[in-house]
Copies of this chain bind each other. A is one copy, B any other.
Amino acid sequence: MKKQPIGVFDSGLGGLTILKALRRQLPHEDLIYFGDTANVPYGSKSKAAVTKFSLAIARFLQSQGVKLIVVACNTASAQALSELHRQLDVPVMGVIEPGAQRAAAVTQNGRIAVLGTEGTVRSKAYPKAILKRFPKARIIQQACPLFVPLAEESWGKKPAAALIAQEYLKPVQKSRADTVILGCTHYPLLKPVIAKILGKGVTLVDSANTLADAAQLFLAGRAQLETQGKGRVQLYASDDPTRFKHLAEKLLGEKIGTVRLKKLDL
């Protein structure tokens, strides 16, 4: 049978943390990553717009013969997932349910904090998903708008990052949450500074690892896991692939291949 790739998309760079986790955990899979750099950021746009972008990307990935599409973006997962399921034949997984499941499973004191973009916080997608399976959970949300630019600048180790994180995390510490969801695909890039401030008693739930786990179980269930050969990665961006490549290599800390330009049919 022909090897089928997994498709991954995000509004821009953040989803590369999920790509990295997929490569580590499923090293034999071919991966196609689409960064919608022409339309980034999604967080401040309407649901209709985010759905339109997501459908166009997903249709492109479907045309590449993918066996699974991973929505590596919280905003698109919260706003477009049901429409993607309705309109596509290929399976689609979002980032919110796996994170919510793991947080509900991990917490010992029932107090969970969600860090996210303003859009994700406003959508209440995480609280809804957590409360479905853990009605007594006490959840606080904290929007961290400066985290995305900090991560994109690779400033995670600068003193400014620690100061900003301390400020955002004050209400989280006060809430005595023992479990904190990194509810944006950029945030794993700031994990060291967040973990240092919150300390050892707090578990960080990371979209990247949870989604890679979920994708593995999904493909295993359908007997579609590749078990041999080195997986290849192909990256696409909808605008300025050169800049995307530069930033992606900075974020991932490794060389990546050519990034192809692919304008979306909107």
Q: Give chain B residues whose Cβ lies under 8 Å from the Cβ of A101.
A: 213, 216-217
Question: Is A98 among interface residues, defined by CB-CB distance under 8 A?
Answer: yes
Number of copies: 2
Which B residues are CB-close (under 8 A) to A210?
105
> Which of chain B's residues have a CB closer than 8 A to the CB of A85?
223
**Closest partner residue, chain B, to A84 (CB atom):** B223
Q: Are A91 and B203 in contact (CB under 8 A)?
A: no
Chain A residues 201 to 245 lying within 8 A of chain B, measured CB to CB, are 203, 205, 209-210, 213-214, 216-218, 220-223
**Residue of B68, B205, B209, B221 touching A93 (CB-CB under 8 A):** B221
User: Do A25 and B133 have beta carbons less than 8 Å apart?
Assistant: yes
Given the known inter-chain contacts A86-B223, A133-B25, please indicate yes or no for A217 contacting B108, CB distance below 8 A.
Answer: no
**Residue A102 interfacial (CB < 8 Å):** yes
Once bound together, how far apart are the Cα atoms of A203 and B107, in whole Å? 9
A97 within 8 A of B: yes
In the complex, chain A residues 88-104 whose Cβ is within 8 Å of any chain B Cβ = 91-93, 97-98, 101-102
For residue A223, which residue of chain B has the nearest CB?
Answer: B85
In the complex, A2 has a CB within 8 A of chain B: no
A106 at the interface (CB under 8 A from B): yes
A200 within 8 A of partner (CB) = yes
A-B residue pairs in contact (CB < 8 Å), sample of 10:
A85-B223, A86-B223, A93-B217, A93-B220, A97-B220, A101-B216, A102-B105, A105-B209, A214-B221, A218-B218
Interface residues of A (CB under 8 A from B): 25, 68, 85-86, 91-93, 97-98, 101-102, 105-106, 108, 133, 200, 203, 205, 209-210, 213-214, 216-218, 220-223
